[in-house]
A and B are shown apart, each in its own frame.
Chain A
Amino acid sequence: EVQLVESGGGLIQPGGSLRLSCAASGFTFRSYLMHWVRQAPGKGLEWVSRIISDGSSATYADSVKGRFTISRDNAKNTLYLQMDSLRAEDTAVYYCTRGGGHSDWGQGTLVTVSS
């Protein structure tokens, strides 16, 4: 069974940094492209970033470009999202998803940016 478990969320002040993790199991992690998708409270889904299977290439939404960095450790079956210069509008539940079509989702981790 595919499992994606996010962690690392919490309350952070504007301008601060946070690193999210997504532990993957139940599939061959190193073979899959992975994404981060977020959902602000009461709002819709917003794609944040993706990274290809070997980690050599990543793409970002304009809203986070230059502030967020996606990475992965295929030896540890873990996906990361380094979030710097956080803003109030980054407040959201962050989900990691598997594959080109987001076939599987984690339960999400809440990031709250507030002073």
Chain B
Amino acid sequence: QSVLTQPPSASGTPGQRVTISCSGSSSNIGSNTVNWYQQFPGTAPKLLIYSNNQRPSGVPDRFSGSKSGTSASLAISGLQSEDEADYYCATWSDSLNGWVFGGGTKLTVL
């Protein structure tokens, strides 16, 4: 059972906008910034969003992040087939004194 809660799956058709939620508590998301990672099968995760809503260079602006209270969201607009991957949220937990990850969301492009 992960400290951060994500839906196990999400789906959309090409061109659609999809959002993935990440729910936490006051000791993690509520008091720290959130990162999002993208992982393709058999490969290492890649940083997609940092500090709630910042994109590293090279990440398309179709990807955006937001945070409100103890929850965060990743939005993907103009969905493309190559976006099919697993997505993880993560943040620091003050109570656990360590990083915590969501359980991951498998995104399927129909």
Please list the residues of chain A having a beta carbon within 8 angstroms of any beta carbon in chain B. Answer: 35, 37, 44-47, 50, 59-62, 95, 101-108
- A101 touches which of B47, B88, B103 (Cβ 8 Å): B47
Size of interface on B: residues with Cβ below 8 Å to A: 22
Whether B46 lies near A105 (C-beta < 8 A) is yes
Q: Look across to chain B and name the residue whose beta carbon is closest to the beta carbon of A108.
A: B44
In B25-39, which residues have CB < 8 Å from any A CB?
Answer: 35, 37
**Distance of A26 from chain B, by nearest CB (Å):** 15
Q: Which residues of A contact B46 (CB under 8 A)?
A: 105
**Distance of A103 Cα from B59 Cα, bound (Å):** 13
**Distance of A35 Cα from B90 Cα, bound (Å):** 14
Residues A45 and B37 in contact in the complex (CB < 8 Å), given A59-B97, A60-B98: yes
Q: What is the predominant secondary structure among interface residues of chain A facing chain B?
A: strand
Counting chain B CB atoms within 10 Å of each CB, the highest count among A61, A102, A106 belongs to A102
**Distance of B33 from chain A, by nearest CB (Å):** 8
- B37 touches which of A35, A62, A102, A107 (Cβ 8 Å): A102
- The answer to whether B40 has its CB under 8 Å from any CB of chain A is no
Interface string of B87-110 (1 = CB under 8 A from A): 010100000111111111000000
Residues A102 and B44 in contact in the complex (CB < 8 Å), given A44-B103, A45-B101, A47-B100: no
**Distance of B51 from chain A, by nearest CB (Å):** 7
**Distance of A86 Cα from B43 Cα, bound (Å):** 25
In B44-67, which residues have CB < 8 Å from any A CB?
Answer: 44-47, 50-51, 56
**Distance of A46 from chain B, by nearest CB (Å):** 7
Q: Which residues of A contact B98 (CB under 8 A)?
A: 47, 50, 59-61
**Distance of A106 from chain B, by nearest CB (Å):** 7
**Distance of A104 Cα from B46 Cα, bound (Å):** 7
